[in-house]
Each structure stands twice: as C-alpha cells, then as structure tokens.
Structure 1
Amino acid sequence: MTTVIKNSSLTAEINHFGAELISLKTNQNKEYIWEGNPEFWGKHSPILFPIVGTLKNNSFHYNGNEYYLSRHGFARDMEFELIDSTANSATFAIQSSEKTLKVYPFEFELQLIYTLNENNLSIEYKVFNKGKSTMPFSIGAHPAFALPNLFENYAITFEKEEPLEFYLLENDLISNKTKKLEVTNKQIPLTYEWFENDALIFKTLQSNSLTILENENPILRVHFEDFPSLGIWTKMNAPFLCIEPWFGYSDTNESSGNLFEKEGIQILESNATFHSKFSIEIL
C-alpha cells in the first residue's frame, strides 16, 4: 500500500512498508527518486533505525544478554501505520513489539512525517522512548536520487569550504583509514572511482546542505542542518547517488559491543522524545 501527497509543485509517494519514499516528481512529471532496480539496488529511500551501518559481529550486549541486529536495523523492513494525513502531508508510525524486543530490548515508537511545501519535501523523524530505562539508538536517512544521464555529467557542491576527509570501510566497519576529496570551489565532479570501497563516510561536517548539479546546473539540494554525520554512496555503474544524513554510523573494529559506548550513538531518557528532520529541495 502507498500514500500519495501533492501540492502545486510536487507529488510524493510513500510505501507503507518501511514508510519509504519511492517517488518525488515535479508537476512536469520529472522523477528525482531512484527507481529501485534490483539489478543495482532494490530500495529507494529506506529509514535506518535503530542502528546506522553495521555492528561488530552484528551484535551488541545489554544487561548480560547478547542481541543480534542486521545492518541498518529493522525499521526499513516493517509495515508502518498511516496515523495522520492531509493533501500535502502524511505521518507513519511503528511501535516496539515482541518481535523487535528480541533483537533490540527497548520500548519505542518511531514516526516519520512527510510534508510538501512549495518545491520542498521535509522528512521528520520522531523517536519516543516508551520504556523505563534510557535508550541508545541511531537513526539515518538513505535517499537515492536518480541520475539518468552520464554519471560524469554530475557534480556535488558542499555548502561550506572544509577539509572533506572521509573514513573508509573495511568489512562494513569503520576503519582508521581516511582519504580527502579533491575540492575546487566546494565542488566535486562525480566519478565511480570514489565508491570502489563502498560509501564515503563523514563523521562530522561544517556544511548543512549538499547540492547535486547536472552539467553545472543545480538540480536538487539536500538540507541536513540537524544531522552531525553524512554518508554518500552509489553502486558501481549505477545511475543514482545516495546522500545520507545520519545520527551515527558503523562500528569500528575496536567497538566494545556496548551500545551506550558506541560512537555517534544517541541516548534518549525514559519518556523523552527525539525530533529531527532533513529536506529535499528541487531547484
């Protein structure tokens, strides 16, 4: 089942499975979200929760017990309930359950709120700690933007001048190896060579937005003011680019297995609410 929201400029379609954005079109019918061709990658814009990336040994321990969580967590593979909607907005939710408690022993509610405003789609995250103890979690976005023309025709521009040092992955974990992107006027031409070793992972950034250009013309901007970390990713020879604002990232080889000690983890007190959002602006 899907829900469609519209305004005078844009139409967005969200799949209830994973509350996943599967389409964002202009009123001229131009599509900006990757089609999800499984030949390359069968998703469009999954939600990453309650972890981002991979845990060491795909596991963590809590109160003397060991738990197993697969890469990026389970929310993207759950059926969400549509709990509120208008012509230009929709709110989806999941709750902890007997099934989730077996792999993540914390009581929660997760809401995703999609809102269209002129040429902008905002995506809000709300996490409610419904348990009696503090709750560690990470959350992140993974939208894939369609790049239908020659990949080298595209470039990305960061909002601010900064040393663009990213961390390399080894066996899906964060290594201590880094590289720097070669930047000219805050702009980086896209090349598949950057992604030969998987995603580019920035633990911190000064920039609050990133723009995709096609033949030097800005076409789309992702605003992520609230998010401290960022991933950029594509598959080799795939016609899309993921721009991924994150709270958290994969474990390192030195990780202790204690989620409360994990780099980038968020800690939410009992009965407290976490709220954050990012947005996609069509230019």
Structure 2
Amino acid sequence: MNTVIKNTFLTATINNFGAELCSLKNNFNKEYIWEGDLDFWGKHSPILFPIVGTLKNNSFDYDHKKYHLSRHGFAREMEFELIEKKENSATFSIQSSEETLKVYPFEFELQIIYTLEKNNLSIAYKVINKGNSQIPFSIGAHPAFALPGNFDNYYIQFEKEEPLQYYLLENDLISNETKKLETHEGQIPLTYQLFENDALIFKTLESKSLTILENKKPFLKVNFEDFPSLGIWTKMNASFLCIEPWFGYSDTDENSGNIFEKEGIQILNENEIFDSEFSIEIL
C-alpha cells in the first residue's frame, strides 16, 4: 500500500512497507527518486534501523547471549502502520514485537514522519524507548536520487571547503584504509571509478549539506544538520546516487561484539526519545 502526500510544489509517495520513499516529483512531473531497477538495485530509499551497515559476523552480544542481525537491520523489511495522515504529511510507526525481540532484545517504537513544505521534503526519525533498560541503536537514511543521462555530467558540492577523508569497506566492514577526495571549490565530478571499492564513508564532516549539480547547475540538496556521518554510493553504470545521512556505520574487524561498545552507536535511556531529521530540497 502506498501513501501520497502533496503540496503546491511537490508530490511524495511512500510505501507503507518499510515506510520507504519511492517517488518525489515536482509539479512538472520530474522524478527525483531512483526507479528501483532490479538489474542494479531494487530499493528507493530504505530506512536503516536498528543498525547501519554490517555487524562483524552479522551478530552482536548482549546479556551473555548472541543475536544475529542482517545488514542495515529489519525496519526496511517491515510493514509500518500509518498513524497520522494530512495532505502534506504522514507519520508511520513500527514497534518491537515477538519477532524483533528474537534478533534485537529491546523494546522500542520507531516513527518516520514525512512533511512537505514548499520545495522541501523533511524526513524525521523518532526512536522511543518503551522498555526498562537502555537501547543501543544506529539509524540512517539511504535515499537514491535519479541521475538520468550521462553520469559524468553530474557533480556533488559539499557545503564547506574541508579536508575530505573517507573510509573504505572491506568485506562489508569498515577497513583501516582511508582515501582523500580532492575538491575544486568544494565540488567533485562524479565518476563510477569513485565507487569501485563500494561506498565512500565519512565518519565525520564539517559540511551539513550536499548539493547535486547537473552540468554545474544545482538541482537538489540534502540537508543533514543532525547527522554526524555520511555515506555516498552508487552501483557501476546505474543512473542514481545515494546520499546517506547516518548515526553509526558498519563494524570494524576490531569490534568486540558488545553492542554497547560499537563505534558510532547511540544509547537511549529508559523513557527517553531520540529525534533527528534530514531534508531533501528541490532547487
């Protein structure tokens, strides 16, 4: 089932399965979200929770037990309940259940709130601790933006001129190897060679927005002021780019397995609520 929200400028379509944004169009019917071609990657904008990336051995330890969680967690594979709907906004929710507790032994509610305001779609995350212990979690976005035509016509521009150092993945885990991105006035031309070793992972960034340009003309900006980390990714020869604001990322080989010691993990105390938000701005 899909839920549609709209205003004068934009129309967004969200699939209740995974609360996944699957379309964002302007009033000229221009599509900004990747179509989800299965020959390359069948998703559009999955929600990453309660982990981002991959756990070492796809498992973690808690309270003398081992639990198994697959890459990016289970939220993207769950049916969300639509708990509030207005013309320009929609709120979706999942809660811990007998099934989630088998792989993630913490009681929670996750809400995803989509809101359109003028030329901007904001996507807010709310994690609610519904148990009597601390909750360790990561959460992140994975929107894929459609880049039709020649991939080499596109650029990305970081908000600030800064040293750009990213981490490489090795067997889906964060390696110790880093590379530097050279920019000109904060801009980087897109090439598939950039992604020959998978995603570019920035553990920290001064920039809190990233703009996509086509032939040097800006057309879309992702604002992620709340988020400390970022992934950028595409598949070879695919016509999309993912810009992924994150709280947390994959394990390293040195990870102890203790979920509370995981690098980048968030800890939510009893009765606390975690709020964060990023936005997609059509320029």
SS in 1 for 2:113: strand
TM-score normalised by the chain length of structure 1: 1.00
Which residue matches 1:22? 22
The amino acid across from 1:10 in the alignment is L
CA distance in 2 between partners of 1:259 and 1:85 (Å): 35
Which residue matches 2:216? 216
Quote how far apart the aligned CAs of 1:191 are.
Answer: 0.4
Which residue matches 1:44? 44
Identical aligned residues as a percent: 78
> How does 1:114-129 map onto structure 2 within 5 Å?
114-129=114-129
CA distance in 1 between partners of 2:145 and 2:66 (Å): 37
Which residue matches 2:88? 88
SS in 2 for 1:102: helix
> How does 1:231-242 map onto structure 2 within 5 Å?
231-242=231-242
CA distance in 2 between partners of 1:67 and 1:116 (Å): 38
CA distance in 2 between partners of 1:144 and 1:202 (Å): 17
> Once superposed, what is the RMSD of the aligned Cα atoms?
0.3
> How does 1:35-74 map onto structure 2 within 5 Å?
35-74=35-74
SS in 2 for 1:145: strand
Quote how far apart the aligned CAs of 1:182 are.
Answer: 1.4
SS in 2 for 1:100: helix
Structure 1 residue 206 and structure 2 residue 179: aligned? no
Quote how far apart the aligned CAs of 1:149 are.
Answer: 1.1
List runs of 5+ in structure 2 lacking aligned partners: none
CA distance in 2 between partners of 1:189 and 1:222 (Å): 17
CA distance in 1 between partners of 2:164 and 2:234 (Å): 18
Quote how far apart the aligned CAs of 1:87 are.
Answer: 0.3
SS in 2 for 1:101: helix
CA distance in 1 between partners of 2:161 and 2:167 (Å): 19
CA distance in 2 between partners of 1:223 and 1:259 (Å): 29
CA distance in 2 between partners of 1:149 and 1:237 (Å): 11
- What CA deviation, in whole Å up to 9, does each residue of 1:11-34 have, x standing for no partner? 000000000000000000000000
* Equivalenced residues, count: 283
List runs of 5+ in structure 1 lacking aligned partners: none
CA distance in 1 between partners of 2:107 and 2:62 (Å): 14
- What CA deviation, in whole Å up to 9, does each residue of 1:255-283 have, x standing for no partner? 00011001100000011000000000000
